[in-house]
Amino acid sequence: MVQATRIKKLPPYLFARIEKKVEEAKEKGIDIVSFGIGDPDLPTPQPIVDELCRQANNPANHQYPTSVGLLAFRQAVSEYYRETRGVTLDPREEVVTLLGSKEGIGHINFCYVNPGDVNLIPDPGYPVYGIGTLLAGGESYLMPLLEENAFLPDLTKIPEEVARKAKLMFINYPNNPTGAVAERQFFEEVVAFAKKYDIIVCHDAAYTEIAYDGYRPVSFLEIPGAKEVGIEFGSLSKPFNMTGWRIGWAVGRRDVVECLGRLKSNLDSGQFQAIQYAAIKGLTACQDSTKELCSIYEKRRNLMVDGFNQMGWHLAKPKGAFYIWAPVPKGFTSASFAEYVLDKASVIITPGSGYGQYGEGYFRISITIPEEKIKEGLRRLAENLGKVDF
C-alpha cells in the first residue's frame, strides 16, 4: 500500500547514522558516555509515585476519563499559575489537559491549519512544531534563531505578506536546543506582533521551571494581552522528572483551548485519572523537589561548561533548560563532528542540524546524566580530541 503523502513528507531520521555507529560500538563492547539524551535521569518525586499507587487502587479511576481532563487537575493548574505567576485562569474554560505537551503541540495544528497555510517556526527548534504543521498540510516559515540575536527570532525580518498569512507562531523559552532565555520585552513584542497580524501564539513552556543562578523565566501568560492572542503549553515532564507519564496542559485564550479540547475529544479519551491525581500532587506538594533538581542541574552545568571551556570553547553558562549549545570546531559539520567525537572518544553529542538548518555548525549536549559520567566524558574528550580551533 502506498503511504499517504504526509507520511512520505516526514523528514528522514537524522540520527540514524550515529545510532548505527553506537549500536556497532556497543556490540564491540565499547563503553559509551552519552551527552545526547534530553531526558531527566532522576526519578519522579516519591509523593507523586505514592499518589499514583493509591489512586490506581481506586476502581473509580479505572473507567474512561473526560477528554479535557479532571476538573480537579485543571483547578490545580489554574492555582499553580495564580500562585507562581500571578495569572488568573478559569479552570473550566482556559485549561485543557494533554497527554504530554508534545501531543497538544502536534494537534493544535489540526485546529487552525488548512492545506497551504503558513506557520512561523523557530529554527533550530523542537521538531514537533514543524512536523505538526506538515502533518496538517501547512508550510513552515522558518524564524532563524541566531547567536547574534541571543537565539531570539527577529520579528522585523518576517515579511509583511508572510505575517498576514500566518496562522500559528511557535516559540519556546527557556529554549531547547539553545538554552537561551527570553525577557518580558521579547514576549511583549510577540504579543503586539500577534495582535497586529491576527496570529495565534503557541508558547512551549516546558522549561519555565528549570533555571539557574536565581533566574526566574517568564511565563508568556504574565504578559498583558497574552491571553487574547495565544496559549501556553506546560508539562510536568521536566520539573518533576515525569517524561514517561505523559501529562501536560494548554492554557490561555479561550476559543483556542476550547478548540483543542474539542479536537481531542474526537481523538483520545483523556489521561488515566490516577496519573492526573498524581500530577495534582506534583503541582501542589512537590515544588521543593523542582528547586532541588535545579540545584543539581546547576552543578552539572558548571562542570560541563567549565570542562568544555578548558578544552578551548568559549561557552556562556545557560540560565535555563538543561542543554548546552556549542559551535563545532573549524573544518567540521555538525554531523562530522558528532561522528568524530564518537569515534575518537566514545562520547555521544547531538548534531545541531537535527534541530533545523540553522542548527548546522552546532552541537547540543545535555546535563541529564550524573556528575561522574560528565567527568568521565570530559576526560575522554580532553584526552582524545586534540587541540580544537574555531
Ligand X SMILES: *Cc1c(COP(=O)(O)O)cnc(C)c1O
Cα gap 105→55, rounded to integer Å: 28
Q: Which of residues 303-332 bind ligand X (CB under 6 A)?
A: none
Within 13 A of 104's CA, how many CA atoms are on the CB side? 35
Q: Is 172 in the site for ligand X (CB under 6 A)?
A: yes
Query: Smallest Cα–Cα separation from 38: which of 164, 166, 168, 179?
Result: 179
SS3 42: coil
Residue 178 CB, nearest approach to ligand X (Å)? 11
Residue number with the smallest Cβ distance to ligand X: 100
| 135 Cβ neighbours under 8 A, 6+ residues apart | 6, 106, 109, 110
CB 118 within 8 A of CB 166: yes
Task: Closer to ligand X by CB, 55 or 178: give it.
Answer: 178
Q: Which of residues 233-252 bind ligand X (CB under 6 A)?
A: 235, 237-238, 243, 248
CB 324 within 8 A of CB 318: yes
Among 67, 78, 101, 276, interactor with ligand X by CB under 6 A: 101
Q: Contact region for ligand X (CB under 6 A) — 60-68, 94-102, 190-198, 382-390?
A: 94-102
Residue 364 CB, nearest approach to ligand X (Å)? 11
Cα gap 79→87, rounded to integer Å: 9
Task: Closer to ligand X by CB, 163 or 274: give it.
Answer: 274
Q: Contact region for ligand X (CB under 6 A) — 155-163, 231-239, 328-336, 377-385?
A: 231-239
Residue 388 CB, nearest approach to ligand X (Å)? 27
Q: Contact region for ligand X (CB under 6 A) — 97-105, 142-150, 274-282, 345-353?
A: 97-105
Task: Closer to ligand X by CB, 219 or 346: give it.
Answer: 219
What is the CA angle 129-126-83, rounded to 5? 90
Residue 237 CB, nearest approach to ligand X (Å)? 3
Query: Smallest Cα–Cα separation from 17: which of 361, 372, 342?
Result: 342
Among 45, 48, 73, 102, interactor with ligand X by CB under 6 A: 102
Burial class (CB in 10 A: 0-12, 13-18, 19+), 386: exposed
Residue 238 CB, nearest approach to ligand X (Å)? 6
Residue 354 CB, nearest approach to ligand X (Å)? 13
Q: Which of residues 248-287 bind ligand X (CB under 6 A)?
A: 248
CB 32 within 8 A of CB 26: yes
Query: Smallest Cα–Cα separation from 381: which of 301, 297, 306, 299?
Result: 306
Q: Which of residues 114-153 bind ligand X (CB under 6 A)?
A: 126
DSSP state of 123: E
Cell of 358: 540553522
Task: Closer to ligand X by CB, 128 or 378: give it.
Answer: 128
If you compute the radius of gyration of the chain from its CA atoms, what whole number of angstroms results?
21
Query: Smallest Cα–Cα separation from 38: which of 145, 175, 139?
Result: 175
Q: Is 206 in the site for ligand X (CB under 6 A)?
A: yes
Residue 295 CB, nearest approach to ligand X (Å)? 20
Q: Is 176 in the site for ligand X (CB under 6 A)?
A: yes
Chain positions contacting ligand X, by CB under 6 A: 100-102, 126, 172, 176, 204, 206, 235, 237-238, 243, 248
